[in-house]
Structure 1
Amino acid sequence: MLTLPDVALSSAGQEAVDLAASAGLKLDSWQRFVLDKGMSERADGNWAAPEVCVNVPRQNGKGAVIEARVLWGLFIGGEKQILLSAHEFKTTHNTMKRIERLIEGCPDLRKRVKQFHKTVGREGIELHDGRELKYIARSRGSGRGFTADCVIFDECMILGDDAMSALAPTSDAVENSQLWYLGSAGIGHLSQQMARLRKRCLTSLESGVPDPVLAYMEWSINQHRAECMPGCTEHDDIDSVQSLLRANPGVGYRLQVEKSMQRRLTMGDHLYARERLGVGEYPSDEADTWQVIGEDAWRSLAAAESAPEGEVVFAIDATPEQDYAAIAVAGRWRGGTHVEVAHHQPGMGWVVAKAKRMHEEHKPRCWVVDAGGPAGALIQELEEELGIKVVSPKMREVAQAAGQFFNAVADQSISHIDQPPLATALAGAQKRPLGEAWAWARRGVSVDISPLVAVTNAKWGLGVEVEETGDVVDNVW
């Protein structure tokens, strides 16, 4: 995807390319393209694109674009202060070492450097004329107090509002400043800023009107969807060489076709599509919350005294990255259904042990886990530890569960105790098509919806037939 302001008359990109070459950094054709478009200038000499975003899969060489842009800003562009940040400081530190090596290897550049600052918290490069490059870690407060001509956000697929509020305004007082965002495909709720930039690009492409201040360049494929018919030509196959080439401009320079495609076997289809083919997960903006179930409708069903009566069902779900998991419970209450998040914690390692204790204490009707979901990997261990058969909904039953939950809210036959994890999940929840019905969208949403999926499946489990397990003699009274 590509959108560029239509006001460019010239570009400083070639200067950056030539300077990088003199320092020993030879740029690929796609890197030269990014610098040419990202550093385009208007008739008055100001940047045609005050904001530049590069969204490209990993290991294609975006770091070299950063290095060339920094060298130009320090030694040609006259930028007084450049700020370079990444989600983890070790990434910024690696970039720092590469830039220093380029400068050290070019005497004409090295003689203009006053000092390489390496003291923790003051890392950067200072020239004799006072120009500076500062390396900073991203946080709520980092960057405050600085005034920058250029701010570069590396790893911008992990860039939220806290870091943006601290760093982006540092360039507001500079008349001709630039913000550069470089990263790979979105990874869900952590990719807030990347999602906004991408949405602006999509809006400009749909309307035919270029964004007036943004140069957005993305290498990715349009992956087949579940509803695609056989022979669909509108979307791309993740296992094709054409898809790999389309999404990776570094193939032939630093990426090899055969080795890259072998990663699909190692990573699985989802991670391969995201990390190698640019198929991202982008959250909706905050204005798009409570899209499926209205906040007022949900809050009105909160009852502090509600609790499951009689037999209960437990369900487990997790985030696609398996960095959070939830256990939920459902049971009958006053002619309707009570749902509740029993546990919601980081990681997956705690789940089975917790489930075993809950199973022994409450003797639930059944446990529900979607075998096709992220928590499906726990099913075998659960069955071994609990001595039961886990109930796993089929695809059509996943849609039925979501529909039943939605209808229960609509007819006010469900109750809850207004737990923040569940409310947060509902606020960011979206639908995904599933045949002629729908299910909760796990990917591309701004929040962790595992609590919502877990309570949905627990409620569904109250109405399914449960397979008896154990010795038949154990069931004789």
Structure 2
Amino acid sequence: MADLCEVAGLMLDPWQRYVLDHALGEHRDGKWAAREVAVWVPRQNGKGAIIEARVLAGLFYLGEKKILWSAHEYKTAQEGFLRIRELIQAAPEFNRLVKRYWEGSGEQGIELTTGQRLKFIARSRGSGRGFSGDCIILDEAQELNLLQMKALFSTMSARSMHGNPQIWYLGTPPEDPAAWVYGIRQDGEAGKDRLAYFDWGLGEVDPTVGVKQQLAAYADRELWYQANPGLGIRISEEFCEDELSRLREGFAPERLGMWLPYAGGEADGWQVIGETLWSDAEDSTSELEGRPAFGVYVPPDRSYAAIGIAGARVGGGRHIEVAGDGEVLDYRPGVAWVIPRLKELERNGPSVVVIDDKALAEEAEAAELVVHRANVVDVVTGCQLLYDGIAGEDPAGRDITHIAQAELTTAVRGAVRRDVGGSWAWARRDLAVDVTPLAAVSLALFGHCTPRIHRPEEGDPWFFFG
């Protein structure tokens, strides 16, 4: 890697080589050991050189067909393009492989004679469309939001089966104490599988410490060197002194890489179903017995849809889960995929398919699917059935079991109640929460527990979901 970069005149620091060596480790089958890579380091330490090295390797060594370099601001994406173009043009071995450089319409890119492409884009506030490729670089990652990441992972799901994609998050601690990337930090510190995590920051700001005490602690030069691998190489001590005098307590996140205390509302979670009760109801070995009921939920903005399953559980009780095929759940962007997927699921002989969306129900019926159109009473009934089956006052009635599905657990943790007449239905606590999976399994549970809407059984009455 270092030799490749030197051809273009890019000389890597030891810390930059360390990140690249560990982030690009492979399994025996050639797949990346780390599907995701996160690098958090204060500004001006040379983070850009890591991106440049990764891009050069993808184009001229790894043979990646499409590389996407995105940034929060257009000027950052443009600077990345100009820098990579300069490096490639400085190396005749690389430059002769370039078919064209292009600029225009807010995008820049490079295409090689092999058909490989490197594309630079600035992320819009709410959209992650177009975030696909063999390597995705998310610069200024502290500005990422949930909607962008949902779009990204949905476009990457197919590549994960037949390709070898890798996603890089690079940035500094966010100014927003409820930013999406706090989840990346939590996963990294927990040692999550398939995540290579690098953070030069000095932990978290202590809000109980006064400003004078903070400033006295921040003046320790040893801390400066711990948090800044580029100090003494491209950052001077004098510059840090000036920053400390001007930024004061802002010196902690800017130069020491310290994160603000998380304010994403974790303590405000589990407002309807308690964490302990949800955990007690989990059984990863739980299986359905008999005919499953399916529930389809589409939120008002139609951004996502989910298919839930409910039915009798082997050994007694009731079972709920989000439908899926292996690790790929039926919780995806948009609604175009729902009807084809329901037709596939017909092989399981469902007792009923409950849909809470008029347009989608009509489309299903046009496709010759037999569905039950849920009304408001059906929706709230499903919500209460699920609540009573897991958190009801009568312990004997808590007979619902779920398997370990992170998307469903996230929805339960972030769900709140919204009043519907004299009853209630699920709602989300804030924009960072999506209760679609929870609403889908609630509809399925309503279907399972309401025999009057079941389809007549045909042939062998025993069906299994698989």
TM-score w.r.t. the length of structure 1 is 0.53
**Does structure 1 conserve the Cα–Cα contact (< 8 Å) formed by 2:205 and 2:260?**
no
Distance change in 2, residues 1:284/1:141 (3 Å)? closer
For the pair 1:238 / 2:221, whether they are aligned, the reply is no
Q: Matched residues in 2 for 1:121 and 1:165: separation?
A: 23
For the pair 1:176 / 2:142, whether they are aligned, the reply is no
- Further displaced range: 98-107 or 155-164: 155-164
Structure 2: which amino acid aligns with 1:29?
P
Residue 116 of structure 2 is matched in structure 1 by: 131
Q: Matched residues in 2 for 1:168 and 1:67: separation?
A: 23
- Further displaced range: 195-204 or 169-178: 169-178
Q: Matched residues in 2 for 1:104 and 1:126: separation?
A: 13
Q: Matched residues in 2 for 1:118 and 1:245: separation?
A: 39
Structure 1: which amino acid aligns with 2:194?
V
Work out which of the residue numbers 244, 256, 259 in structure 2 matches 1:277: 256
**Displacement after TM superposition at 1:173 (Å):** 2.3
**Displacement after TM superposition at 1:167 (Å):** 2.8
Structure 2 unaligned residues grouped into runs of 5+:
274-428, 434-466
Q: What pairs with 1:420-435 in structure 2 (closer than 5 Å)?
A: none
Q: Matched residues in 1 for 2:83 and 2:55: separation?
A: 11
Give secondary structure in 1 for the equivalent of 2:244: helix
Q: Matched residues in 2 for 1:158 and 1:143: separation?
A: 12
Structure 2: which amino acid aligns with 1:104?
Q
Q: What pairs with 1:16-415 in structure 2 (closer than 5 Å)?
A: 17-139=2-124, 144=129, 147-174=132-159, 175-189=163-177, 191-192=179-180, 194-204=181-191, 211-222=192-203, 225=206, 237-269=217-249, 271-281=250-260, 283=262, 288=266, 290=268
Residue 325 of structure 2 is matched in structure 1 by: none
Distance change in 2, residues 1:168/1:85 (3 Å)? farther
1:225-246 Cα shifts (integer Å, max 9, x gaps):
36579xx9xxx92120011011
Distance change in 2, residues 1:155/1:122 (3 Å)? closer
Residue 292 of structure 2 is matched in structure 1 by: none
**Does structure 2 conserve the Cα–Cα contact (< 8 Å) formed by 1:243 and 1:277?**
yes
How much identity, in percent, do the aligned residues show? 41
TM-score w.r.t. the length of structure 2 is 0.54
Distance change in 2, residues 1:104/1:45 (3 Å)? same
**Displacement after TM superposition at 1:255 (Å):** 0.6
Q: Matched residues in 1 for 2:24 and 2:133: separation?
A: 17
Q: Matched residues in 2 for 1:71 and 1:224: separation?
A: 36
1:110-146 Cα shifts (integer Å, max 9, x gaps):
0000000112244211011110011111126755356
1:286-315 Cα shifts (integer Å, max 9, x gaps):
7x26369x699xxxxxxxxxxxxxxxxxxx
**Does structure 1 conserve the Cα–Cα contact (< 8 Å) formed by 2:129 and 2:148?**
no
Structure 2: which amino acid aligns with 1:151?
I
**Does structure 2 conserve the Cα–Cα contact (< 8 Å) formed by 1:139 and 1:162?**
no
Distance change in 2, residues 1:125/1:226 (3 Å)? closer
Give secondary structure in 2 for the equivalent of 1:71: helix
**Does structure 1 conserve the Cα–Cα contact (< 8 Å) formed by 2:205 and 2:258?**
no
**Does structure 2 conserve the Cα–Cα contact (< 8 Å) formed by 1:82 and 1:148?**
yes
**Does structure 1 conserve the Cα–Cα contact (< 8 Å) formed by 2:205 and 2:259?**
no
Structure 1 unaligned residues grouped into runs of 5+:
1-14, 205-210, 297-426, 429-445, 448-477
Give secondary structure in 2 for the equivalent of 1:52: strand
**Displacement after TM superposition at 1:25 (Å):** 0.5
**Displacement after TM superposition at 1:95 (Å):** 0.7
Q: Matched residues in 1 for 2:116 and 2:128: separation?
A: 16
Q: Matched residues in 1 for 2:107 and 2:203: separation?
A: 43
Structure 2: which amino acid aligns with 1:128?
T
Give secondary structure in 2 for the equivalent of 1:148: coil
Residue 12 of structure 1 is matched in structure 2 by: none
Q: Matched residues in 2 for 1:189 and 1:105: separation?
A: 42
**Displacement after TM superposition at 1:68 (Å):** 0.6
1:326-360 Cα shifts (integer Å, max 9, x gaps):
xxxxxxxxxxxxxxxxxxxxxxxxxxxxxxxxxxx
Structure 2: which amino acid aligns with 1:198?
R
Distance change in 2, residues 1:56/1:146 (3 Å)? closer
Structure 2: which amino acid aligns with 1:217?
F
**Displacement after TM superposition at 1:281 (Å):** 2.4
Q: Matched residues in 1 for 2:207 and 2:259: separation?
A: 16
Q: Matched residues in 1 for 2:204 and 2:243: separation?
A: 17
Q: Matched residues in 1 for 2:186 and 2:73: separation?
A: 25
**Displacement after TM superposition at 1:169 (Å):** 3.2
**Does structure 2 conserve the Cα–Cα contact (< 8 Å) formed by 1:56 and 1:220?**
yes
**Does structure 2 conserve the Cα–Cα contact (< 8 Å) formed by 1:150 and 1:171?**
no
CA-based RMSD: 2.9
Give secondary structure in 2 for the equivalent of 1:172: helix
**Does structure 2 conserve the Cα–Cα contact (< 8 Å) formed by 1:51 and 1:215?**
yes
**Displacement after TM superposition at 1:170 (Å):** 3.1
